[in-house]
Structure 1
Amino acid sequence: MSHARRLGGGRTIAALFTTALLASTTSFAQEAVQNREDGVFADRIVFGQAAPLDGPASALGLGMQLGIQAAFQEVNAAGGVHGRQLELISRDDHYEPARSIDEVRRLIGQDKVFGLIGPVGTPTSAATQPIAMETNVPFIGAFTGAGFLRDPKLANVVNIRASYDAETETWMKLLVDERKLKRIAILYQDDAFGRAGLSGAVAALERREMELVARGTYQRNTTAVKAALLELRKANAQAVVMVGAYLPIAEFVKVARSIDFDPTFVNISFVGSDALASALDGEGEGVIVSQVVPFPWDETNPLIAAYQAALANVDGEAKPSFVSLEGYITGRLAAMAIEEAGPEPTREAFLNGIRKRGSFEMDGLTLQFGPEDNQGLDDVFLTEIGPDGAFRPLAGPQS
């Protein structure tokens, strides 16, 4: 015979206790879920990307997207991070600041992403990083070397690549120190991105007691470069350093060579090397591009072997490129930082973990951060387009 005391309606005290305990447990579970950061779910963590996925700079946004997806899929196939899968939502900002602001607000306010990853461009980053800062959202791996993002006071910013100042200094080591050229001109996109490269080039020449012999500009998202070309040719430049996207740069080089103006052409990494070589359509031999990640075709490099395998798994027809490799490194760092942040990651723990851990090893590539250093890599590599249209290393890395 049961000795459980019965209450009205046939319920026992034990049953009532069990019901209360279940309700309490459910309440605590719901509260735990409610207290999770945006973008953190029971089975996944969601990142957002605002980048050009269409238009003249689309190869850059799509390349970063592909690389991040390759890294995330690699991690997910191995069980994810603390049992959660990594997910990427990408939105097209057309490489325009106003559109980028709208898309970032959607990613943060509507999609509720954990962090922003792989944004492309200086003017777009200048417009959107403050939004991320105001909402305490991590801003990870921007495809730009702009100096303002290297400010250690920007606690939500994590950079992967070397700065534009480092790239422009490497240019001048080659052109002035090694090749002894005296007449250096510049073509740059007339916006925050172009002016960042201009500033670096001017400073690098000033350190050598030199100055630019001419400056030419073009407008973002156009290929209107002919007026600038005539200005630089008139200056009889021996080298033209270039701060722009692949379509206008390719147009400049092709038209320049068609009128027998053939100085040494040197491009900043943002140009998108593979897209540039393709747009040059066989007319790119000798064009130099500075790079901020290792050579993506060097299969003897363990990182490159892992990257190529991950790339093939996410898209069997994708070809290695500098841009997607940068995206891959960015995605792997995000995964490692999530791991560091623990089973219930917060944005604060994610960012603090990067600063406190400092060193992140990726198959022989080391990213180094610190309390006053939000940039993981410092090396710059020089590459050159060969007669077959493929890139080849021109020199080793220079810090």
Structure 2
Amino acid sequence: MLKLNKKGLLFMGSLVLSASLILSGCGGGNSSSPASQQKAGKQAQGVTDKEILIGNWATQSGSAALYGAIAKGIDAYFQYVNDQGGVNGRKLKLVTYDEEYQPSRAVAIAKKLIEEDKVFAIVGNDCTSCNKAALPQFKKSGIPVVGVSSGSDIFVNPVIPNIYGLLTNYGIEARIFVNYAVDELKGKRIGIFYQNDDFGKSGYEAAVDELKKKGMQPVAEVSYNSTDVDFSSPALKMKEANPDVILSFSITKPTAAYKKELSKVGVNVPFIVTSVAGADNNMFNLAGDSWKNVYSSSWVAMVGSGDPKVNKYVEALKKYGKDLNPSGPAQWGWAEAEVLVEAIRRCGNDLTWENLNKQLETFKDWNEGLAFNVSYGPDNHYGTTSVVMIKDQNGKMAPASDVIKYKAGK
């Protein structure tokens, strides 16, 4: 169970944690690496007869702080499982840190989780650039990283043996958006707003390519930096281009701020935003009355959809994460934890990294959790390539399509 401070946030004293991260980032660790231990066939680190230690980082501060609920959703699911006896008799324990949406900090945290905390696996890390920065460590150690909270191609194409995506790939999502904008919303002038980093460019580049296939090109391509707070100029640039649909590959707070500015300058055309912002009902609070005519996607069954699995999740969250919004990041964390726990369950008592990887690759359109059609294999670590399109309706996001399944590599 997570250690919480008085504000209900994560974890241990910040000065102690910062010092520890600095030291871990400078070297040290055991002479026998985790990878060499696995090759020797030993039971993996982080596993005892009674406990399995799982690692994570999640943004708890700054412009992306809403994503901190991912870790809380993961921990809520672990508590739920533990109260039912754990996994094959072992309880789950989460070790998580605030990486502040900073790649350099994520690198230090990755080293600490692997070499000092000695976790068995890592689950649900947010921030595309942060995961990219830590990727060399993940590859070198061989530790299973499950349900990366990023849909970037970097982690799944080509396949990396110990890295598993889950949420729908940003490029695939972007292609679905383009087709929906043109075929369903009859858009002819498409504007694109995107975050100027690995995350935003993943969706932007795929959208431009998909438009090209249709003989089209964006009428506007407007970028921003994750630290930006003034979006008046980007809104005016979009207005000048006169789009009839806007695609937005952006995170929560900047998306809300941009949508407010668009509304101020009279741009109220359909606004299709990536799921990491648009699937969170908290956007209605952040963007206020401007959060209208908004479309997004969801790779998990929607809260309020009537799905029995979702109803069960919502009821459980009232007990294990009572202060959490059941839609958005907390739900993503819960779904990511479900996949990891199912893979651990399939491992039985053979809790090695090799066997965990083997069991993950047995998933085929797995729908027992909240995520749609989870599939892995030797040539596929995407997780899910299925979404439902969603739209604002009476102050919440509601389904606007059936499940759309996109074939990876299409």
TM over 0.5: yes
Alignment counterpart, residue 96 of structure 1, candidates 58, 83, 102: 102
User: 1 CA distance for matches of 2:373 and 2:269?
Assistant: 36
User: 2 CA distance for matches of 1:357 and 1:173?
Assistant: 28
User: 2 CA distance for matches of 1:200 and 1:278?
Assistant: 30
User: 1:33-86, CA deviations, whole angstroms, 9 ceiling, x for partnerless residues?
Assistant: x943221122111111112111211112x2211221222122111111121101
Residue 222 of structure 1 deviates from its aligned partner by 2.6
The answer (yes or no) to whether the contact 2:64–2:101 under 8 Å persists in 1 is: yes
In structure 2, the residue matched to 1:368 is: 375
In structure 2, the residue matched to 1:118 is: 124
1:381 matches 2:383: no
Alignment counterpart, residue 286 of structure 1, candidates 283, 293, 311: 293
Say if 1:246 and 1:144 are closer, same or farther in 2 by CA, change over 3 A.
same
Alignment counterpart, residue 134 of structure 2, candidates 122, 128, 134: 128
1:174 matches 2:167: no
Alignment counterpart, residue 68 of structure 1, candidates 57, 60, 74: 74
> What secondary structure, in the 3-state scheme, does the structure 1 residue paired with 2:86 have?
coil
Alignment counterpart, residue 333 of structure 1, candidates 327, 334, 339: 339
User: 1:152-203, CA deviations, whole angstroms, 9 ceiling, x for partnerless residues?
Assistant: 5300011212211221122122211122211111111111111111111111
Q: Which moved more, 1:273-282 or 1:180-189?
A: 273-282
In structure 2, the residue matched to 1:269 is: 275
In structure 2, the residue matched to 1:26 is: none
Residue 290 of structure 1 deviates from its aligned partner by 1.9
For structure 2, list consecutive stretches of 5 or more residues without a partner in the other structure.
Answer: 1-40, 406-410
User: 2 CA distance for matches of 1:326 and 1:276?
Assistant: 16
Q: Which amino acid aligns with 1:209?
A: G
* CA RMSD, 1 decimal: 1.9
**Bigger-Rg structure (1/2):** 1
> What secondary structure, in the 3-state scheme, does the structure 1 residue paired with 2:88 have?
coil
The answer (yes or no) to whether the contact 1:382–1:394 under 8 Å persists in 2 is: yes
Q: Which amino acid aligns with 2:403?
A: P
User: 1 CA distance for matches of 2:362 and 2:155?
Assistant: 19
The answer (yes or no) to whether the contact 1:282–1:389 under 8 Å persists in 2 is: no
In structure 2, the residue matched to 1:42 is: 49
In structure 2, the residue matched to 1:348 is: 354
Alignment counterpart, residue 319 of structure 2, candidates 309, 313, 316: 313
Tell me the number of residue pairs that the alignment of Structure 1 and Structure 2 aligns. Answer: 363
Residue 353 of structure 1 deviates from its aligned partner by 1.2
User: 1 CA distance for matches of 2:173 and 2:155?
Assistant: 15
Residue 246 of structure 1 deviates from its aligned partner by 1.2
The answer (yes or no) to whether the contact 1:369–1:375 under 8 Å persists in 2 is: yes
Alignment counterpart, residue 227 of structure 1, candidates 230, 233, 238: 233
User: 2 CA distance for matches of 1:250 and 1:316?
Assistant: 25
The answer (yes or no) to whether the contact 2:244–2:269 under 8 Å persists in 1 is: yes
Q: TM-score, normalised by structure 1?
A: 0.86
In structure 1, the residue matched to 2:156 is: 150
Say if 1:357 and 1:383 are closer, same or farther in 2 by CA, change over 3 A.
closer
In structure 1, the residue matched to 2:198 is: 192
Residue 243 of structure 1 deviates from its aligned partner by 0.9
For structure 1, list consecutive stretches of 5 or more residues without a partner in the other structure.
Answer: 1-33
The answer (yes or no) to whether the contact 1:165–1:201 under 8 Å persists in 2 is: yes
User: 2 CA distance for matches of 1:239 and 1:65?
Assistant: 34
User: 1:286-334, CA deviations, whole angstroms, 9 ceiling, x for partnerless residues?
Assistant: 2112222111222x31221221122122123333113222211211111
Residue 131 of structure 1 deviates from its aligned partner by 1.1
Q: TM-score, normalised by structure 2?
A: 0.84
1:241 matches 2:252: no
Give aligned-pair identity as a percent: 26
Q: Which moved more, 1:224-233 or 1:76-85?
A: 224-233
Q: Which moved more, 1:377-386 or 1:205-214?
A: 377-386
In structure 1, the residue matched to 2:65 is: 58
Q: Which amino acid aligns with 1:211?
A: Q
1:259 matches 2:265: yes
The answer (yes or no) to whether the contact 2:155–2:163 under 8 Å persists in 1 is: yes
The answer (yes or no) to whether the contact 2:276–2:328 under 8 Å persists in 1 is: no
In structure 2, the residue matched to 1:17 is: none
Q: Which amino acid aligns with 1:92?
A: D
Say if 1:87 and 1:229 are closer, same or farther in 2 by CA, change over 3 A.
same
Q: Which amino acid aligns with 1:250?
A: A
Q: Which amino acid aligns with 1:236?
A: N
User: 1:346-392, CA deviations, whole angstroms, 9 ceiling, x for partnerless residues?
Assistant: 11111111114545441685422222111222212111122x42112
